[in-house]
């Protein structure tokens, strides 16, 4: 079942704070769904895990590269969410040199579960994770979902196509062309 609005959730993020001395100048900062989604038109993409090959080689870096093209289509922010904690998401963003895409830690999987996208990945020793999907979200309302085929627990494959940035850009441009026609 796909939600029509994003669920109200509180995310536990870790942010840099220069007033903290020592080798680890970060503190917890709670961010809500409203903080991320209110008053903006955004792309959210969700994937099975930080540091995994398709996500690290294609999906995250390609969204970063195409960020300007999404802005030109009226997108204010692009968010990447995963059922991983804030330490892992921050380390992944740093390792990938990401500075445009914002990473959201859904460590407990609450947002993903309420989106109807939580799946078992026990076959890989991952536990509960997100099915791969993306969405166009306007002021918290889900305009369009791009869900990879074969939604299932313990899927043996990792389909990737529908939620690619290239596919979403094509859909945004087609919608714009048909609205103008
Ligand atoms: C991948 O991104 O390639 C991947 C994701 C989940 C499990 C294994 C691989």
Per-residue pLDDT of the chain (181 residues; tens, 9 = 90+): 455 999 999 999 999 999 999 999 999 999 999 999 999 999 999 999 999 999 999 999 999 999 999 999 999 999 999 999 999 999 999 999 999 999 999 999 999 999 999 999 999 999 999 999 999 999 999 999 999 999 999 999 999 999 999 999 999 999 988 888 8
Residue 96 in contact with ligand 1 by CB distance below 6 A:
no
Residue 10 in contact with ligand 1 by CB distance below 6 A:
no
Q: What is the pLDDT of residue 3?
A: 55
- Ligand 1 pocket test, pick from 51, 55, 92 with the greatest ligand atom count within 8 Å of Cβ, gives 55
Query: Taking the C-alpha atoms of 175, 39, 93 and 149 in order, what is their torsion angle to the nearest 10 degrees?
Result: -40
What is the Cα–Cα distance from 146 to 175, expressed in whole angstroms? 14
Three-state secondary-structure class, residue 103: strand
Please give the residue range of the domain that contains residue 19. Answer: 4-180
Q: What is the pLDDT of residue 160?
A: 97
Q: What is the pLDDT of residue 181?
A: 84
Measured in whole angstroms, the distance separating CA 32 from the mean position of its chain's CA atoms is 15
How many Å lie between the centroid of ligand 1 and the Cα of residue 5? 27
With contact defined as beta carbons under 8 Å apart, do 105 and 86 qualify?
Answer: yes
CATH code of the domain covering residue 126: 3.40.30.10
Q: How many domains does the chain have?
A: 1
Q: What is the pLDDT of residue 106?
A: 98
Residue 55 in contact with ligand 1 by CB distance below 6 A:
yes
Residue 169 in contact with ligand 1 by CB distance below 6 A:
no
Q: Which atom of ligand 1 lies at the shortest distance from residue 59's CA?
A: 2
How many Å lie between the centroid of ligand 1 and the Cα of residue 36? 26
Determine whether 125 is exposed, middle or buried from the number of CB atoms within 10 Å of its CB (0-12, 13-18, 19+).
Answer: exposed
Q: What is the pLDDT of residue 104?
A: 98
Q: What is the pLDDT of residue 72?
A: 97
Q: What is the pLDDT of residue 39?
A: 98
Sheet strand arrangement including 77-82: 102-105, 77-82, 41-47, 133-138, 141-147
Q: What is the pLDDT of residue 2?
A: 53
Where in the sequence numbering do the catalytic residues fall? 55
What pTM was computed for the model? 0.96
Residue 160 in contact with ligand 1 by CB distance below 6 A:
no
How many Å lie between the centroid of ligand 1 and the Cα of residue 82? 12
């Amino acid at each position: 079942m796909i939600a029509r609005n994003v669920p109200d959730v509180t995310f536990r993020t870790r942010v840099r704070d220069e007033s903290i001395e020592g080798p680890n100048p970060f503190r917890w900062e709670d961010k809500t769904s409203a903080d991320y989604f209110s008053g903006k038109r955004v792309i959210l993409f969700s994937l099975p895990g930080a540091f995994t090959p398709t996500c690290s080689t294609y999906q995250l870096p390609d969204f970063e590269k195409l960020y300007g093209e999404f802005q030109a289509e009226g997108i204010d922010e692009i968010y990447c969410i995963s059922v991983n904690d804030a330490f892992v998401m921050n380390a992944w963003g740093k390792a990938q040199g990401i500075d445009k895409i914002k990473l959201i830690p859904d460590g407990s999987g609450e947002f993903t579960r309420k989106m109807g996208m939580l799946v078992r990945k026990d076959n890989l020793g991952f536990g509960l994770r997100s099915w791969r999907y993306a969405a166009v979200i306007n002021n918290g309302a889900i305009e369009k979902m791009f869900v990879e085929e074969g939604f299932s627990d313990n899927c043996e494959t990792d389909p990737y196509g529908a939620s690619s940035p290239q596919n979403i850009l094509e859909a945004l441009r087609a919608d714009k062309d048909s609205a103008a026609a």
